[in-house]
Structure 1
Amino acid sequence: MIINDSNRHKGLRNQLVKVIKEKGIKDRKVLDAISKIPRHLFMDSGFVDFAYQDKPFPIGAEQTISQPYTVAFQSELLQVEPGHKILEIGTGSGYQTAVLIELKAEVYSIERQKELYTKVRKFLPKVGYVPKKLEYGDGYKGMPEYAPFDSIIVTAGAPYLPKTLLGQLKVGGKLVIPIGEDVQVMTVFTRASEKKFEKLEYGDFRFVPMLKEKNNS
């Protein structure tokens, strides 16, 4: 059950939706999801007043809750349909997870920071968003035991393309991933056949880096 979600919060969310719409987000289902999810609950209480600004904010473990526009942009690129099986690399605060669940996807999510994993595993069910699977581990490896996926979303900056993730896509599936060191290029790989992938790029973004081999306590 969602607690502490006031009319003021709902009004601020509507303002936020207006902002990201003006920035170019067109997918009505994505905008509706952003309008429903109480982002302030996904942040430390000290940042509640900033929850509906279109900005990223710290969430601990040197990570951030992504800028709403970025969340909406990646979600729009995924072209989510109800029942889609989606792998999320980097659960973080759980906000992007909630957007995907609101879009009626089956979400398999993996988080490499123990502190965030422990927090979000308890938190998400409290606000009514339960992923199909939530694991603690190395996102570069994906979840081969649950593959193939309709799409995969990476929510941290990857210095290179993890080929293992491409192999976990269905034919026709999409991998949405920001690739680069200091600045990342939002990149979409579509699996055209068993061995062929098509690549499109969608401009520069800034993400916290995706780190390897972090699945130890």
Structure 2
Amino acid sequence: MAITPRPLNTMTPPSPASPDESVHPSLSDEQLAELLRPGKEFENNLHATLKQLSAGSINLLVVPLKDYSSTAHALLTYYHAQKTSGVYVSINKPTQDILKGINVQLTQTQFVDAITALTGKGTEDTQQITFIDSPLALVELNLAISDRMKGLVSNQKFLVVDSISTLLVYNTPQSVEKFCHTIIAKNRGDNVIGLLLMINSDEHHDVVETLAQFVDHVIIVK
């Protein structure tokens, strides 16, 4: 029986800080740079939403195109701060490119990378990364995710698939929906917080409607 989906949280940007709040005299240059970093406000809002998610839930996270580039950083730094182990599936951007923008060692995060091979860069598996030949290889991708998830030893885990929108560029909607259904069935109820990322777009509205029947929550970021 499918769980009836409902929006968990619709984000609205907080009111802009007053001049007295925007620059604090006690902040160091590094702290001020972090405070003013592009995407910081989006990350703070997303972190607040992630705190509401319960273990054992699979969620569809729909983000605006303008904030999509900040999403990977926001998710990975959040789960690092929470000391939560997990698997990040990179389909939109090579793992090494994602890691360049993160200034902490993500030792508790495993990666499954389905896009680097298409760029011609090296794709030899490492202790932390499994490379897949193509986003078209959905069966291989599914197996790699399962293998990495089984290797996690923490009680609470996360799984991020980044992104469903990119999978739809390479595969039919029916194939992607079947892939997602398999991922959901395998990971629900196993102390896993799952996040399936999509860009908010009318183009794939039907896919969102279909996936909404199977996930626990649809989180629409505005």
TM-score (norm 2): 0.44
The structure that is strand-richer by fraction is 1
Larger radius of gyration: 2
More RCO (CA 8 Å, sep 6+)? 2
The structure that is helix-richer by fraction is 2
